[in-house]
Amino acid sequence: MQAVERPKCKHGNVYPSLLFHTVDACPGKGSSSAVRLNPLLQQLPTYPTVVLDRLRDQLRAEGKPVYDFGTGDPTEPTPAFIREAFLASVPENCRYPTVRGDVSVREAFAAYVQRRFGLSLDPERQILPTSGSKELIFHLPLLVIDPAAPDRTIVFPDPGYSVYYRGAVLCGAEPYAQRLSGDFKQRVWELPEEVLRRTRLVWINSPHNPSGAVLSRDDLQRTYEVCRRYDILLASDECYADVWFDKPPPSILEIATEGVLAIFSLSKRSGMTGYRTGMVAGDATLMAKLHQLRTNPGLAPQDFVNAAATAAWSDDTHADTRRHIFARKREILMAFLEEAGIEVVGSEAGFYLWLRVPPGKGTGAEWAQELLSVGILSNPGAAFAVTDAADNYIRLALVPDEAGCKAAVDAWRRHQR
């Protein structure tokens, strides 16, 4: 396994192979600012959701139907009791929030972890609320990376959630894309020793975006052992922990907390993407340092968001209901994909279906473009990859409601004929 050389744009600059995104991603474009910009910014392509929003708006402006399987932003309403908890906590005088937030949100999360994984966490020392998991993922490298040191590698799954790469680049780390294929499981123990020796942070993500692959308890154990052997921070992104279909995926916290931080989110579990609320939990010593780090920019979720999060973490029924809604939509799509002979890879859990491009349909970007002609908005696999690992895949997010899924399937079926 090696880091694959990234392609170059027509100006000779390097950028990830995000085929939908090449025009904006080209660092040579629009760089006539009077101010000298951070050159690291040039390594970042346009964020995938920006591209998808633009495509969706374009189709709508042309009066065409849009079946939006693009951005993973659920349309099911946030449960009323969560909205009420939020509204009831907006105070007359809204003062600065603290990085730790009120203990009630940490206690509610600790109780959730006890119910879900059978584990005891200390709300005082092992848990912090975040403003969504994205910001934590972006900032976490600052905890372990010295940009002047030779050992400053961050390993992340490729394809994967693009913020692992973006956060690594902007903090001056050396990003190392661990190329996934086949079942799309990340096997950290297969990394070359020379990479592990210079690595300070390993990202894993189970259930995995975009493939829906799940790491077993054994996989997590092996991953943990490798990270401990090389004194690496193991960061486990578990933001889809409660979006599963057959059996609940295990957490890294079930293996150990030493040297480990696990990241959770209410975005999909509770339909709270707009609230920006997540949690980070794990090693108490690391958490103390993380707390200290987060006081510098003041990364502190608002108290009324924490109040809504307290309500959400305290209840599992709504998460169950949402899981069944996602499962129903998944069944509708899976039945059609099977009938059409389209291969679905991974997709054991999480919010996505990961489709291999059928023979004769070109790359994922070309197939996604073709599907767009019938109003089906998907994400080409390349949007999640720094290497070419996902060029022949597309991702469907389980976003449209049941009727929307059925209408999309009908449109797709007519197009197939």
Ligand X SMILES: Cc1ncc(COP(=O)(O)O)c(C=O)c1O
d(CA 127, CA 374) in angstroms, rounded, equals 46
Stretch that binds ligand X, among 130-138, 170-178, 223-231, 328-336 (CB under 6 A): 130-138
Q: Compute the least distance from the CB of residue 352 to ligand X, in Å.
A: 8
> Hey, what amino acid is at 37?
L
d(CA 352, CA 348) in angstroms, rounded, equals 9
Nearer to ligand X, 243 or 332 (CB): 243
Residue 49 found at the interface with ligand X (CB under 6 A): no
Q: How many of the chain's residues bind ligand X (CB under 6 A)?
A: 14
Nearer to ligand X, 27 or 70 (CB): 70
Name residues whose C-beta falls within 8 Å of residue 151's C-beta, 6 or more positions apart in sequence: 197, 198, 199, 200
Binding residue (CB under 6 A) for ligand X from 145, 213, 239, 281: 239
Q: Compute the least distance from the CB of residue 379 to ligand X, in Å.
A: 11
Binding mask 144-183 for ligand X (x = CB under 6 A): -----------------x----------------------
Closest CA to 16 of 3, 33, 29: 3
d(CA 73, CA 68) in angstroms, rounded, equals 10
Residue 237 found at the interface with ligand X (CB under 6 A): yes
Nearer to ligand X, 156 or 367 (CB): 156
Nearer to ligand X, 42 or 330 (CB): 330
- The position carrying tokens 């059409």 is 340
Q: Output Rg (C-alpha) for the chain, integer angstroms.
A: 21
Residue 314 found at the interface with ligand X (CB under 6 A): no
Q: Compute the least distance from the CB of residue 354 to ligand X, in Å.
A: 13
Q: Compute the least distance from the CB of residue 341 to ligand X, in Å.
A: 28
Residue 219 found at the interface with ligand X (CB under 6 A): no
Nearer to ligand X, 257 or 267 (CB): 267
Helix (H) or strand (E) holding 153: strand 153-158
- Residue 369 tokens, joined: 């473009």
Helix (H, G, I), strand (E, B) or coil at 116: helix
Nearer to ligand X, 134 or 409 (CB): 134
Closest CA to 216 of 204, 234, 201: 204
Helix (H) or strand (E) holding 380: strand 379-380
Please state the separation of Cα 247 from the chain's center in Å: 20
Residue 134 found at the interface with ligand X (CB under 6 A): yes
Nearer to ligand X, 26 or 385 (CB): 385
Stretch that binds ligand X, among 132-140, 166-174, 334-342, 366-374 (CB under 6 A): 132-140
Residues 65-104 that bind ligand X (CB under 6 A): 72
Nearer to ligand X, 237 or 348 (CB): 237
Helix (H) or strand (E) holding 64: none
What strands lie across the sheet with 344-345, from one edge to the other?
344-345, 352-356, 393-397, 379-380
Backbone angles phi and psi of 152, in degrees to 5:
-140, 35
Binding residue (CB under 6 A) for ligand X from 17, 22, 89, 133: 133
d(CA 184, CA 46) in angstroms, rounded, equals 24
Closest CA to 145 of 224, 203, 201, 68: 201
Give the 3-state secondary structure of 216-229.
CHHHHHHHHHHHHH
d(CA 190, CA 170) in angstroms, rounded, equals 27
Q: Compute the least distance from the CB of residue 273 to ligand X, in Å.
A: 5
Contact 15, 29 (CB under 8 A): no
Residue 236 found at the interface with ligand X (CB under 6 A): no
Nearer to ligand X, 126 or 133 (CB): 133
Residue 381 found at the interface with ligand X (CB under 6 A): no
Q: Compute the least distance from the CB of residue 134 to ligand X, in Å.
A: 3
Stretch that binds ligand X, among 37-45, 128-136, 280-288, 337-345 (CB under 6 A): 128-136
Residues 268-287 that bind ligand X (CB under 6 A): 273, 278
Residues lying near ligand X in the complex (CB under 6 A): 72, 132-134, 137, 161, 205, 209, 237, 239, 265, 267, 273, 278
